[in-house]
Structure 1
């Protein structure tokens, strides 16, 4: 006797409205609230950002985006503390990404 595996659930994928609704419900369940950082954590992140910018070291960036905490690896190219903006180049596609500093959760060296 062979297990049916995903064949058992395949008919449910045909009803696209239900499939989209289920996907949205699952995404809402895994959403997290943006963490609030202390002054000490923000200061440590600022020092790490400045050091990574000047030494061109690779860093892990953890940031908040639409209910998720995302971690990427890349290089810091530009930091504007007054404009709440930084630019980093991701390691995978080597694309420039503009982000707000207020969305940043953690910065660590690789």
Structure 2
């Protein structure tokens, strides 16, 4: 007799297209609209970015990407307010991420 292995735990996974479609529906329902920031909030974010850049302090960065608000921890390396770009080095993988300033939702110094 042969053991069933993982077949035992996935008895209805005979149609992978169904699960792909269901996952897309679940992801679509979990999406949120991009928050609209007030002038005061944008000024506060700008001030915090500049302070973190000059003092090389670690920040909590919350940004909007593909229907989700994502929070990461790391350091600000470069800010270009005219070009609407900044470079963020994340703490986990130490990778440089180029992002748009308009995608930012919140910035807090750790």
SS in 1 for 2:12: helix
* Map 1:21-36 → 2, pairs under 5 A: 21-36=21-36
Aligned to 1:13, the other structure's residue is in SS state coil
Task: Map 1:47-86; keep pairs closer than 5 Å.
Answer: 47-86=47-86
TM-score in terms of structure 2 length: 0.90
Provide the aligned length of Structure 1 versus Structure 2: 105
Residue 88 of structure 2 corresponds to 88
Report deviation, 1:9. 6.3
Distance in 2 (alpha carbons) for counterparts of 1:13 and 1:107 = 42
In 1, Cα distance between equivalents of 2:95 and 2:45: 22
Structure-1 separation of matches of 2:20 and 2:14: 11
Q: Report the CA distance shift for 1:80/1:69 in structure 2 as closer, same or farther (over 3 A).
A: same
Structure 1: gaps (5+ residues): 1-6
